[in-house]
Amino acid sequence: MSKIVRLEKKILEKNDEVAARLRKKFNGLGLKVINIMSSPGAGKTTLLEETIKRISNRVSLGIIVGDLATDLDAARMERAGCAAVVQINSGGRCHLEAAMVEKAYEEVKGKLDILIIENIGNLVCPAGFDLGEDERVMVAALTEGLDKPKKYPGMYRQCGHLVINKIDLAQVLNIDPEQFEHEALTVNPKLRVFKTSAANGNGLGEWCGWLESMVKG
């Protein structure tokens, strides 16, 4: 085994340790934690803005936002009405790690029901890093094309839930959301799939319903 592979293994083992500690802490607090991952521009932030508007009067929602270099997304979530937003600036790093989340969580204010972690926009690297979450959600934009589940199988297999977003563009793209769902299920048959348009609100009821059910359940 090469030195690089050994070191990568060590980084992942260390990350798993911190993630296990975090998971125990979150469970003890009765806090449900969701790690949201996607390609850049799939619509994670717009989806979260619309989610905040719809459920934040019933569910106490906190968001940790990973970003390479800016705080643009965190500012958008605050404007949408989320009181507990913490920004992680990854300093150019391509994924979030459990230690970053542990540190950011210290800054989250108030008692929360759900903590959403918006990962760095990247379909490869974030899949390797456990953040202590209960659920991993992937957001895929219909605009990315039908071949993406097969081309990025690691990410699709690591998630339990898939949001197929931008379905309002189905007709103009000539891509059928059902076909995208079929491609995704071919790679990971266990995925629970939501089909949404964060832009026009379609499908957000089912998505928000699932989030709320995590708290009630």
Closer to its own copies by Cβ: residue 55 or 65: 65
Minimum separation from the CB atom of position 28 to its own copies (A): 30
Minimum separation from the CB atom of position 150 to its own copies (A): 6
Task: Tell me the torsion sign for CA atoms 140, 144, 148, 152.
Answer: negative
First to last CA, the chain: 45
Minimum separation from the CB atom of position 23 to its own copies (A): 24
Q: Is 179 helix (H, G, I), strand (E, B) or coil?
A: helix
Closer to its own copies by Cβ: residue 173 or 185: 173
Minimum separation from the CB atom of position 20 to its own copies (A): 20
Closer to its own copies by Cβ: residue 40 or 81: 40
Integer CA distances (angstroms), 80 to 52, 97, 136, 187, 217, in order = 6, 26, 23, 35, 26
Distance between CA atoms of residues 58 and 114, nearest Å: 11
Which residues would be at the binding site for its own copies (CB under 8 A)?
Answer: 3-4, 7, 11, 39-41, 67-70, 72-73, 92-94, 120-125, 141, 143-145, 147-148, 150-154, 166, 169, 172-173
Closer to its own copies by Cβ: residue 95 or 136: 95
Distance between CA atoms of residues 52 and 47, nearest Å: 9
Minimum separation from the CB atom of position 5 to its own copies (A): 11
In sequence order, which residues have a C-beta less than 8 Å from that of residue 158 and are 6 or more positions away?
Answer: 127, 136
Phi/psi region, residue 81 (left: phi>0; alpha: psi -120 to 50; beta: rest), is: left
Closer to its own copies by Cβ: residue 33 or 138: 138
